[in-house]
Amino acid sequence: MTPPNFPNNVNLLSTPRYLAGGASVGNYDNFNLATHTGDNLDAVAHNRELLVTHFDLPSMPKWLNQIHSNICLNANSHDCEGDAVITREKGAVCAVMTADCLPVFASNQLGTQVGVAHAGWQGILNGVIESFVTQFDERDLLVHFGAAICAKNLEVGKEVFEKFIAKDKKLSAALTQKGNKYHLDIYQAVRIILNDLGVKKITGGDQCTVEQEKDYFSYRRDGANSGRMAHLIWID
């Protein structure tokens, strides 16, 4: 579903945990799209083909090897290791996968350049948002947040808090101390960074992958063998 403030020629899609015809079972039940979590690879291949046919995608997505980096790739690049991808090419499908991290969709005002980034707390610290936004030719971007873990379920240690403060003191507004731990509002952290980059038009940010078990996979809830959702954006 494309947010109402995005151009009509731009399509956004976040896949559900369950889809009729999905082949994954167990923790991956039933529409896991990741090959790196221990799921049966034939089931994943089936799900990826189902993704294209069920949602009538113009092409197979560019799948990334995500490493919590600040690397932003172009969809037509032969490289696949990174955590954000952009394109100007019509029909090229940009994609990231998540199971608690924040998917950040972006488009310019005219819908001629789009992309999506994978922003976990490590990627945020490594500068993935800055790298992603600066790949666009303009800063007056439209941004939409897909589903991510909410603050009350994202507990981090003091060392993570200190790293966020070292990056930017304003990020303290996204961290709340609870005893000797902190709760990180990943939505707020990315919003602060985007605002500093001149990006103000932001929608989404009201979901929780941990709590909405019927809708979303969650690494924190389900463990290392959790499935992954895909978050896709493309230009008609």
Q: Is residue 179 part of a domain?
A: no
- In this model, does residue 9 exceed pLDDT 90? yes
Could you give the C-alpha distances from 214 to 209, 224, 232, in angstroms and in order? Answer: 9, 18, 20
Closest CA to 232 of 10, 9, 46, 14: 14
Considering the domain boundaries, does residue 25 fall inside one?
Answer: yes
Whether the pLDDT of residue 120 is over 90: the answer is yes
Per-residue model confidence as pLDDT tens digits over 57-110: 999 999 999 999 999 999 999 999 999 999 999 999 999 999 999 999 999 999
Q: Which pair of tokens denotes residue 212?
A: 């909405």
| CATH number of domain containing 39 | 3.60.140.10
* Residue 172, domain member (yes or no): no
Place of tokens 């992309």: 115
Q: Is residue 156 part of a domain?
A: no
Q: Is 2 exposed, middle or buried (0-12, 13-18, 19+ CB in 10 A)?
A: middle
As a whole-number percent, the residues of the chain with pLDDT over 90 amount to 95
For residue 50, the model assigns a pLDDT of: 98
Q: Please state, in angstroms and as integers, the Cα–Cα distance from residue 55 to each residue in 97, 107, 178, 209, 225, following that order.
A: 17, 20, 42, 22, 26
> pLDDT band for position 196 (50/70/90)?
very high
29 assigned to some structural domain: yes
In a domain, 106, yes or no: yes
Instruction: Please check whether residue 114 lies inside any domain of the structure.
Output: yes
Residue 1 has pLDDT above 80, yes or no: no
Residue 230 contacts residue 95 (beta carbons within 8 Å): yes
Which pLDDT belongs to residue 3? 86
Q: Could you report the per-residue pLDDT of 134-144, keeping only the tens digit for each?
A: 999 988 999 99
Please report which confidence band the pLDDT of residue 187 belongs to, taking 50, 70 and 90 as the band edges: very high
Q: What is the extent of the structural domain holding 129?
A: 10-148+215-235
Domain count, the chain: 1
Q: pLDDT-derived band of residue 27, with 50, 70 and 90 as boundaries?
A: confident
Question: Tokens 């109402």 label which residue?
Answer: 4
Domain membership of residue 178 (yes or no) is no
Element holding 221 (H helix, E strand): helix 219-222
Closest CA to 132 of 117, 143, 150, 152: 117
Average pLDDT, the chain: 96
